[in-house]
Amino acid sequence: MAQRKTAAVILAAGKGTRMKSALPKVMHPLAGRPMIKHLLAAVDAAKLDRAVIVIGPEMDSVAEAVAPVSSAVQRDRLGTGHAVLCAKDALAGFAGDVLVLYGDTPLLTPETLGRVMQARSDGAAVVVLGFEPVDPAAYGRLVLDSQGGLDAIVEYKDATPQQRAIRLCNSGVMAADARLLFDLLSKVRNDNSKGEYYLTDVVALARGKGLPCAVVRAPEEELLGVNSRGEQAVAEAVIQTRLRHRAMDNGATLIDPSSVFFSVDTELGQDVTIGPNVVFGPGVTVADGVEIRAFCHIEGAKIGRGAIVGPFARLRPGAVLQNDVHIGNFVEVKATLVESGAKANHLTYLGDARVGAGANVGAGTITCNYDGFLKSLTDIGAGAFIGSNSALVAPVKIGDGAIIGAGSVITEDVPADALAAARGEMRVVPGWAKPYRERKKAEKAARKKRS
């Protein structure tokens, strides 16, 4: 039999007032990626066929962020059941299962989604993902029958004291055949304590038709909902723990895992060593054998095999380090290609530049890439040597093998293998210092006497 198709319906129309933010809740990032995209990644990894995000009015930014995944607008927030119904038109003509997810539970894993879909294939008409939180708080409670099947979901506000004593709670994740689900939802009423159309009512309606319903369980950690900045921080910690383990499982050494922060898209090769307090923003690729020393901040950068970065280095978007490059302490690199074996080990800014293979950029070198209006390029040839404390005023080209004298301000191109020194001539006056000191001492004594 052909595999049943499954469409995710992700509910995200809630205002997220507790975030106290101008940004829709599901656009808040975790590990450098909006929450909603975490969920879409899980949906993708679980090989679902399509997805529809249900958003509120004025959430165009969410629709844009998820495109080409389609979105449906829920104009009035009448409850979770109503929200799912809002996706009906977007799924017109779709035959298969619907998997309902909440946009604010970004930690769900594809494995768990797979288990929910499996339970559907195993014959339950409605499958609900349940969990046993340490504090069941106001979650909906899952009422089981004597065989362990699911009888009903009771919202906390509507539950009896006995039902409130149940520890098994509703995560919100639910799977059912699309036609059955929309049919049941059309029968859901809002005569409950919240006056809302509850998605959860479809379980009792399915049972009323004699259809079997089942519960799949998952650990609480995966079902953590993000409603506040505090919960966002807890979710971030969970994701960082996962990413640290992934890095180590793939062959990286993290000297102090708890102080290394990854983005979901950080790519690390094998035998990469990462020191304490290193932060990876989005878009970083690190090849095999790289050493990243303590206190580096890296985003949008590509680091080649065998390179050494840090301590205290900053790599910004467009930094590309080829093999065996050394970028040392207090060096900032932006939109710059540093070719094989080149070094900039101390106190340097390289922006909008190319540093040729094997070049040596001395301490305190600055590429002056910005004139207050426009950015310009600096091109440093292979094997060039830039003396310490030089300012390279872009646009400027330093030829292969050229040497720049320390302290130079370079405003014109320097040919290959030339020496360029642009600074005041040095003057040495023999014996000048001693009489100077004598004179000053006498001056000071005379002043003291007068006062």
Q: Is 108 in the site for ligand UD1 (CB under 6 A)?
A: no
**Least distance to ligand UD1, CB of residue 82, Å:** 6
Q: Tell whether residue 152 is a contact of ligand UD1 (CB under 6 A).
A: no
Choice among 28, 245, 297, 346 that is catalytic: 346
Per CB under 6 A, 18 contacts ligand UD1: no
Among 51, 72, 99, 102, binds ligand UD1 (CB under 6 A): 102
> Does 281 participate in binding ligand UD1 (rule CB under 6 A)?
no
Q: What is the DSSP string of 387-441?
A: -TT-EEESSEEE-TT-EE-TT-EE-S-B-TT-EE--SPPP---TT-HHHHHHHHH
User: Of residues 170, 277, 348, 365, which one binds ligand UD1 by CB under 6 A?
Assistant: 170
End-to-end CA distance of the chain: 107
- Number of Cα atoms under 13 Å in the Cβ half of residue 155: 18
Of 9, 107, 153, 202, the one binding ligand UD1 by CB under 6 A: 153
**Number of alpha carbons in the 13 Å side-chain half-sphere of residue 354:** 13
Based on the number of CB atoms within 10 Å of its own CB, is 274 exposed (0-12), middle (13-18) or buried (19 or more)?
buried
H helix and E strand count, the chain: 9, 34
Rule CB under 6 A: which of 363-392 touch ligand UD1? none
Binding status of residue 71 toward ligand UD1 by CB under 6 A: no
Task: Tell me which H or E stretch contains 337.
Answer: strand 326-338
Q: Both tokens of residue 136? A: 């069941």
Among 103, 106, 383, 387, binds ligand UD1 (CB under 6 A): 103
Stretch that binds ligand UD1, among 89-97, 169-177, 294-302, 373-381 (CB under 6 A): 169-177
Q: Which is nearer to ligand UD1, 27 or 272 (CB)?
A: 27
Rounded CA-CA distance 289/278 in Å is 17
Residue 321 Cβ, how far from ligand UD1 at the closest point, in Å?
A: 42
Would you count residue 36 as binding ligand UD1 (CB under 6 A)? Answer: no
DSSP class of residue 205? H
Give min distance, CB of 232 to ligand UD1, in A.
14
Q: Which of 172, 328, 356, 381 binds ligand UD1 (CB under 6 A)?
A: 172
The maximal CA–CA distance of the chain, rounded, in angstroms, is: 111
Residue 155 contacts ligand UD1 per CB under 6 A:
yes
What is the smallest separation between the CB atom of 43 and ligand UD1, expressed in angstroms?
A: 15
88 binds ligand UD1 (CB under 6 A): no
Give the CA distances from residue 396 to residues 54, 169, 336, 353, 355, in Å, rounded to whole numbers and listed in that order: 53, 66, 14, 10, 12
Does residue 430 have a cis peptide bond before it, meaning omega lies within 30 degrees of 0?
Answer: no
Q: What is the DSSP string of 136-176?
A: -TTPPEEEE-TTS-EEEEE-GGG--HHHHT---EEEEEEEE
Q: Of 28, 59, 71, 104, which one interacts with ligand UD1 (CB under 6 A)?
A: 104
**Consecutive H or E run containing 239:** helix 229-249
Q: Are strands 126-131 and 70-73 parallel, antiparallel or unpaired?
A: unpaired
Among 94, 198, 261, 280, binds ligand UD1 (CB under 6 A): 198
DSSP one-letter code for 112: H
CA pair distance 364, 348, nearest whole angstrom: 5
Q: Is 131 in the site for ligand UD1 (CB under 6 A)?
A: no
- Shortest Cβ 66–ligand UD1 spacing (Å): 14
Stretch that binds ligand UD1, among 41-49, 144-152, 192-200, 286-294 (CB under 6 A): 192-200
Reduced DSSP (H G I as helix, E B as strand, rest coil) percent helix, strand, coil of the chain, to 5: 25, 30, 45
Which of residues 71 and 170 has its CB atom nearest to ligand UD1 in the complex?
170
Q: For residue 53, which of 93, 95, 14 has the smallest C-alpha distance?
A: 14
Establish if 232 lies at the interface with ligand UD1 (CB under 6 A). Answer: no
Q: Identify whether 82 is a catalytic site residue.
A: no
Q: Does 139 bind ligand UD1 (CB under 6 A)?
A: yes
Query: Which among 5-13, 244-252, 345-353, 376-384 is the span making contact with ligand UD1, rule CB under 6 A?
Result: 5-13
Site string for ligand UD1, 240-279 (x = CB under 6 A): ----------------------------------------
Contact region for ligand UD1 (CB under 6 A) — 102-110, 249-257, 387-395, 428-436?
Answer: 102-110
Burial category of 54 from C-beta neighbours within 10 Å (exposed 0-12, middle 13-18, buried 19 and up): buried
Give the shortest CB-35-to-ligand UD1 separation in angstroms: 10
Closest CA to 24 of 3, 55, 67: 55
Residue from the set 140, 304, 356, 358 that interacts with ligand UD1 by CB under 6 A: 140
- 14 near ligand UD1, rule: CB under 6 A: yes
Full DSSP string of 279-309: EE-SS-EE-TT-EE-SS-EE-S-EE-TT-EE
Taking the complex as a whole, the smallest distance from the CB of residue 171 to ligand UD1 amounts, in Å, to 6
Which amino acids are annotated catalytic?
A: 346
| Residue ranges that bind ligand UD1, judged by CB under 6 A | 11-14, 54, 74, 77-80, 82-83, 102-104, 139-140, 153, 155, 169-172, 198-200, 225
